[in-house]
């Protein structure tokens, strides 16, 4: 598992590769919590383009961050290509809350605000 | 029906074992030549049950999670995931989508829903104070050459 964080203006992009389960979700959550303070970040983009596996812990991690960002007037988006991941995301009803993109640059340009 | 093959795996209830547990089951099931989608379905369901045993069954205490894998001649598999943790009070409620008794905001309450979507049958056997066994059953596609 690799976690890569990039900041574009007020958007934090979290790029994960490998497998996202409960064990990894705990680490990702911690990294986000450490990165947010003092940086005026309003939006999160989870870039799962290179993720090969995810279970409901990943869904829970996204929903938890969604509630957090909404509470400060921000937004969360998801980039996802893998069909199995899409199936899980759709099944969870997550697509009712957040927008799913297939291209990370498209997501950044839609989500990031001045 | 008599199983054609069987494996047993026991490990400490550490979250770092979740990846190992689902990979081990996937490697065992590979003998039946499953499709990539079937492998992913099984890995996901096993990951859900193992995570539940660690997070809900044992919580902050240490325990042993045991997985028994069975392969049958008719291309079906049965994977049982057991803990001797706190048990489930209301199994029907636990099965419901979005139900979670966890105060952790990161639990979606989707685990059993995912298991049911990805496997043919999900049996839950549980007693409060005794522990929980989840049986995951699925018949794999047969490939004819
Ligand atoms: N092995 C177990 N031991 C004790 N309680 C369990 C066990 N497995 C499940 N439960 C109970 O069943 C509920 C539903 O489980 P489920 O996996 O569907 O959701 P969750 O684990 O709470 O959330 P998620 O799986 O989406 O992270 C849990 O909140 C817990 O109360
Ligand atoms: Mg669960």
Residue B144 lies in a domain: no
The per-residue pLDDT for range A81-103, each reduced to its tens digit, is: 999 999 999 999 999 999 999 99
Residue B87 lies in a domain: yes
Q: Mean per-residue pLDDT for A57-71?
A: 95
Q: Which two tokens stand for residue B58?
A: 């044992």
Please work out, in degrees rounded to the nearest 5, the angle formed at the alpha carbon of residue B11 by the alpha carbons of B140 and A17. 65
Does residue A113 have a pLDDT over 80? no
> In this prediction, what percent of chain B has a pLDDT beyond 70?
99
Atom of ligand 1 nearest to the CA of B124: 8
Is residue B107 annotated as part of the catalytic site, yes or no?
yes
Which of A69, A84, A91 minimizes the C-alpha distance to A14? A69
Which of B42, B39, B29 minimizes the C-alpha distance to B75? B29
Q: Which fold has domain A2-111?
A: Transcription Regulator spoIIAA (3.30.750)
The per-residue pLDDT for range A8-26, each reduced to its tens digit, is: 999 999 999 999 999 999 9
Does residue B145 have a pLDDT over 60? no
Tell me if residue A101 falls in helix, strand or coil.
strand
Residue A81, pLDDT score: 92
Residue-number span of the structural domain to which B101 is assigned: 5-139
Is residue B48 annotated as part of the catalytic site, yes or no?
yes
DSSP lists the bridge partners of residue B16 as: none
Residue A3, pLDDT score: 93
Residue B126 lies in a domain: yes
Weakest-pLDDT range from A81-85, B7-11, B48-52: A81-85
Does residue A28 have a pLDDT over 70? yes
Residue B145 lies in a domain: no
Provide, as residue numbers in chain A, all residues whose Cβ is less than 8 Å from the Cβ of B19.
19, 21, 23
Residue B84, pLDDT score: 98
Q: Which two tokens stand for residue B21?
A: 């547990």
Domain borders along chain A are 2-111
Which of B103, B87, B78 minimizes the C-alpha distance to B8? B78
Residue B27 lies in a domain: yes
Does residue B144 have a pLDDT over 90? no
Question: Could you tell me the CATH number of the domain that includes residue B74?
Answer: 3.30.565.10
Residue B48, pLDDT score: 98
Question: In terms of DSSP bridges, do strands A99-101 and A75-79 run parallel, antiparallel, or are they unpaired?
Answer: parallel
Q: How many domains does chain B have?
A: 1
Q: How confident is the model at residue A114 (pLDDT cuts 50, 70, 90)?
A: low
Give ipTM to 2 decimals: 0.92
Is residue B22 annotated as part of the catalytic site, yes or no?
no
**Residue of B17, B40, B107, B116 marked catalytic:** B107
What pTM was computed for the model?
0.96
CA B44/CA B38 separation, integer angstroms: 10
- Distance (Å) from the alpha carbon of B1 to chain A's nearest alpha carbon: 31
CA A13/CA A104 separation, integer angstroms: 9
């Amino acid at each position: 598992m690799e976690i890569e964080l990039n900041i574009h203006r007020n958007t934090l992009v979290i790029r994960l590769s490998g497998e996202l389960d409960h064990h990894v979700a705990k680490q990702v959550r911690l990294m986000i919590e450490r990165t947010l303070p003092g940086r005026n970040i309003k939006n999160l983009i989870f870039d799962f383009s290179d993720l090969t596996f995810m279970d409901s812990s990943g869904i829970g991690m996204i929903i938890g961050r969604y509630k957090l960002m909404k509470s400060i007037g921000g937004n969360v988006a998801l980039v996802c290509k893998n069909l199995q991941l899409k199936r899980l995301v759709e099944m969870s009803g997550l697509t009712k809350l957040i927008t799913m993109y297939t291209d990370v640059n498209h997501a950044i340009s839609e989500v990031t605000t001045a | 029906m008599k199983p054609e093959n069987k494996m047993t795996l026991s490990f400490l209830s550490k979250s770092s074992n979740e990846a190992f547990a689902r990979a081990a089951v996937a490697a065992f099931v590979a003998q039946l030549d499953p499709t990539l989608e079937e492998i992913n379905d099984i890995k996901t369901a096993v990951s859900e049950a193992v995570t539940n045993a660690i997070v809900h069954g044992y919580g902050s205490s240490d325990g042993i999670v045991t997985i028994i894998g069975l392969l049958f001649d008719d291309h079906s598999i049965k994977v049982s995931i057991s803990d001797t943790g706190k048990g489930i009070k209301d199994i029907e409620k636990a099965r419901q989508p979005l139900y979670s008794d966890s105060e952790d905001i990161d639990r979606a309450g989707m685990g059993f829903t995912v298991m049911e979507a990805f496997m043919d049958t999900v049996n839950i056997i549980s007693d409060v104070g005794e522990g929980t066994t989840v049986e995951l059953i699925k018949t794999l596609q047969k490939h004819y050459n």
